[in-house]
Structure formats: structure tokens, C-alpha cells
Amino acid sequence: MRRQKARGRAGEMLFIIVLVIAAKSSSPHGQEFKEAPEFYNSGECARIKEKKRESLECSEEAIQVTMTLDRAYIRGSMAAILSVLQHSSCPYNIFFHLVCSSSFSSSLLRATISNTLPYLKFNLCTFNDSHVSVS
């Protein structure tokens, strides 16, 4: 009976360790972010009528923000995005164009951003970094 309990506990501990490792490897560079709160427009903000999500991306009324994302500076980029939303009086009118290297897992990055900032309106654009020359 004691052996079964010990095996059960060992199995539970192994399961927890595997979950922690899986969670750490599911975000870029093993960094995890808490979910940010939703930010709302103030009463003075113009209401942008959009038929679908993509229409805000090209809207002349929306605030278009373009940022690069880099694996080494992902934490700073996430903080900058959060700061823009926090200090804007019209966060619902902001659309982010996020540019990253194609060597960076775009699906993992998209999941990280969506899980951290679920209300963020963004487009993830990748570029082939072999075409960029460093002098």
C-alpha cells in the first residue's frame, strides 16, 4: 500500500515537472507574461466603424503603430505595447503592425502576444533576415 502511494506521488511529481517544462518552452526564450487587462476608449474617442477586424488595419481613422520584435528584446517590446495601450485615451483605435524575423517562430510569437494581450489588434509581418545585410 505504501509503495503504491509513493509511486502515485512520484507520478504526480513527474507530471507536474513535465507541465512546468512544457509551459516554459511554449513561450519565446522561455519567458512568460501575465495577461494584461483590457483597456477602454475614453468618451471623447471617435468610434471607428469596422465591418471586420481587418478593416481597422487599413483604416485612415485608426492609429497605426509599427514595431519590430526581436527574440532578445521580447520583454521590452511587450512592455512598450502595454505602455502605448495604457497611456492612450483611445486604445481600441490602435492597430499594431509587428515585424519580426522569419527565423523567429511566428506561430509561437502570435500565441504569446494573443495570450498576453488578448484584446490587441495586430498583424504579424515576417521578413527573411538573410536578405538583411549587416555592415
> Contact, 94 vs 82, CB < 8 A?
no
Backbone Cα Rg of the chain: 20
> Contact, 56 vs 24, CB < 8 A?
no
28 and 93 belong to one structural domain = no
The pTM for the full model equals 0.68
The single residue listed with the C-alpha cell 549587416 is 134
Q: How far apart are the first and last CA of the chain?
A: 68
The set of cell numbers assigned to 50 is 469596422
Identify the pLDDT of residue 48.
Answer: 79
Domain span at residue 75 reads: 33-131
83 and 102 belong to one structural domain = yes
3-state secondary structure (DSSP) of residue 77: helix
CA distance 21 to 15: 10
| Total number of domains in the chain | 2
- pLDDT digit of tens for each residue in the chain (135 aa)? 555 554 555 545 444 443 333 344 444 445 677 777 788 889 898 887 765 555 777 788 889 999 988 777 888 899 999 999 999 999 999 999 999 888 777 788 888 889 999 999 999 988 887 777 666
Identify the pLDDT of residue 82.
Answer: 92
CA distance 121 to 96: 6
41-55 pLDDT, tens digit each: 898 988 877 655 557
The single residue listed with the C-alpha cell 536578405 is 131
5 and 44 belong to one structural domain = no
